[in-house]
């Protein structure tokens, strides 16, 4: 065993990259859940975003346009969920699962002509002297634009929820749709917008996989990342910065277990592979223990259909 081979700066830098897809998807889902909607179809929207982004980036030669297309694709697919749950009042859990099934099939159909192609490369942003700082430079300042975008998005979501009127309305809708409706807010439209935002973010997360982290297109390439994003929203108790911590923690444990293996640590691999999930459960328990739902910060109307009876 040679643990000295693990360079903490490099480890931190790669955990940021590894965490970005789930962070993007999770921050989108946070907004969705804050509006009182539980969309379990994150996986389906991510993979659809992955192929939309990939296809558009390949066709246009521009990764930036690819990301725009991924966001649009994810948002468009999420509207299926939005229309079903908001207008047809279908059960959110079942519709979300159906969305995942549909998204996996649709993406595979769309992607049939894109297997084995290399996408246009996404470069790292040149931050000049910052990148040369010892330790910090390697950890923070040698990444591609999407890593920074995801961090900005977390900040923006945090500010949106905390300081803006629109954020207040969104929270009101999520806490009590009946009260929000009585106050004259358009519950259904607020939720639709939140769902679209969630879809766009999930799409971006998927495209980050297919354009940056892997980069290639293959069926089922998200391999469960969407489910992790869902877990992280709860793990972060619906707070943007905690979601960031959760995503980085999960990405960190994943990267660390591979590094420990590479360093020859004699821990059974199966148990190492379980560790990110077990640690997430453990943290969930610690966070929720001894406190009620209110302390957990869960939107009170989460998962409930809204129908204006008046």
Partner 1 sequence: MKRRTVLAGGAAAAALGMTRAAWAQQETVKAGFIYVGPKNDGGWSQHHHEAALEMAEHFGDKVELVIQESVPEGADSERAMTQMALGGADIIFTTSFGFMDPTINVAAKFPDVKFEHCTGYKTADNVGVYSARFYEGRAVQGFLAGKMTKTNKIGYIASFPIPEVIRGINSAYIHAKQVNPDVEFAVIWAFTWFDPAKESDAAQALIEQGCDVVLQHTDSTAPQAAAQKAGDVYTFGQAADMAEYAPMPRISSIIDVWAPYYIERVQAVLDGTWESDNTWDGIGAGMVGIGEISSAVPDDIKTEAEALRDSIASGEYHPFTGPLNKQDGSAWLAEGEVADDGTLAGLNFYVEGLKGDIPS
Partner 2 sequence: MIRLEKRPQPSRAWSYATPVLAVVITMIAGGILFAFLGKDPFLAIKTIFYDPLLGEFAWYYRGQLLVKAGPLILIAIGLSLGFRAGIWNIGAEGQYIMGAIFGAAVGLAFYPMEARWLIFPLMVIAGALGGFLWAMIPAILKTRFNTNEILVSLLLVYVAEQFLASMALGALRNPEGSGFPGSRNLQQYPAAANTELIAGTGMHWGVVAAFIAVIAAYVLLKRHMLGYQIRLTGESPRAARFAGVRPNLLIIFCMGISGALAGLAGLFEVAGPAGQISIDFNSGYGFTAIIVAFLGRLHPVGILLAGLLLALTYIGGEAAQANLGLPAAAIQAFQGMLLFFLLAVDVLTNYRIRLRRTEAA
Q: Measured from the CB of residue 81, what is the shortest distance to partner 2 in angstroms?
A: 9
Quote the tokens at residue 209: 């996989």
Quote the tokens at residue 217: 């297109």
Residue 132, Ramachandran bin (φ over 0: left; ψ between -120 and 50: alpha; else beta): alpha
Contacted entry of partner 1, partner 2, none for residue 223, CB cut-off 5 to 8 Å set by kind: partner 1
**Which residue lies nearer to partner 2 by CB, 162 or 307?**
307
Q: By CB under 8 A, what part of segment 113-132 binds partner 1? A: 115-116, 118
Contacted entry of partner 1, partner 2, none for residue 209, CB cut-off 5 to 8 Å set by kind: partner 1
Among 28, 15, 268, 13, smallest CA distance to 150 is for 28
Contacted entry of partner 2, partner 1, none for residue 281, CB cut-off 5 to 8 Å set by kind: partner 2
Quote the tokens at residue 116: 């084995």
Q: Which residues bind partner 2 (CB under 8 A)?
A: 40, 80, 84, 88-91, 93-95, 97-99, 101-109, 112, 219, 224, 227, 230-231, 234-235, 268, 270-271, 273-274, 277-278, 280-281, 284-285, 288-293, 296, 307, 309
CB 219 within 8 A of CB 107: yes
Quote the tokens at residue 17: 């990259």
Contacted entry of partner 1, partner 2, none for residue 294, CB cut-off 5 to 8 Å set by kind: none
Residue 184, Ramachandran bin (φ over 0: left; ψ between -120 and 50: alpha; else beta): left
CA 280 to the chain's CA centroid: 16
Quote the tokens at residue 165: 């009127």
Kindly state whether residue 91 participates in binding partner 1, applying the rule CB under 8 A.
Answer: no
CB 94 within 8 A of CB 116: no
Contacted entry of partner 2, partner 1, none for residue 89, CB cut-off 5 to 8 Å set by kind: partner 2
| Residues found near partner 1 in the complex (CB under 8 A) | 5-7, 10-11, 14, 18, 21, 108, 112, 115-116, 118, 209, 213-216, 218-223, 225, 254-255, 258-259, 261-264, 266, 268-270, 273
């Amino acid at each position: 065993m040679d643990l000295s081979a693990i360079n903490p700066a490099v480890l931190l830098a790669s955990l940021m990259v590894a965490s970005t897809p789930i962070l993007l998807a999770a921050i989108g889902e946070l907004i969705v859940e804050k509006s009182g909607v539980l969309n379990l179809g994150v996986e389906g929207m991510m993979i659809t975003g992955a192929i939309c982004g990939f296809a558009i980036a390949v066709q246009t030669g521009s990764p930036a346009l690819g990301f725009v297309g991924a966001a649009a694709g994810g948002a468009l697919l999420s509207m299926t969920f939005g229309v079903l749950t908001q207008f047809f009042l279908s059960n959110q859990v079942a519709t979300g699962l159906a969305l995942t099934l549909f998204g996996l099939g649709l993406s595979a159909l769309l992607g049939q002509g894109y297997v084995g192609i290399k996408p246009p490369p996404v470069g790292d942003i040149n931050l000049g002297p910052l990148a040369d700082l010892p330790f910090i430079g390697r950890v923070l300042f040698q990444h591609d634009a999407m890593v920074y975008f995801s961090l900005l998005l977390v900040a923006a979501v945090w500010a949106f929820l905390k300081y803006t009127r629109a954020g207040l309305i969104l929270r009101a809708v999520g806490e009590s749709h009946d009260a929000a409706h009585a106050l004259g807010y358009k519950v259904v439209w607020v939720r639709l917008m939140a769902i679209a935002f969630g879809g766009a973010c999930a799409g971006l997360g998927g495209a980050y996989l297919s354009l940056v982290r892997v980069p290639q297109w293959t069926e089922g390439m998200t391999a469960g990342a969407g489910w992790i994003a869902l877990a992280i929203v709860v793990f972060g108790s619906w707070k943007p910065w905690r979601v960031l911590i959760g995503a980085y923690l999960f990405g960190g444990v994943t990267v660390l277990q591979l590094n420990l293996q590479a360093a020859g640590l004699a821990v059974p691999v199966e148990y190492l592979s379980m560790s990110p999930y077990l640690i997430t459960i453990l943290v969930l328990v610690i966070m929720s223990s001894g406190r009620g739902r209110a302390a957990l910060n869960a939107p009170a109307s989460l998962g409930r259909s809204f129908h204006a009876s008046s």
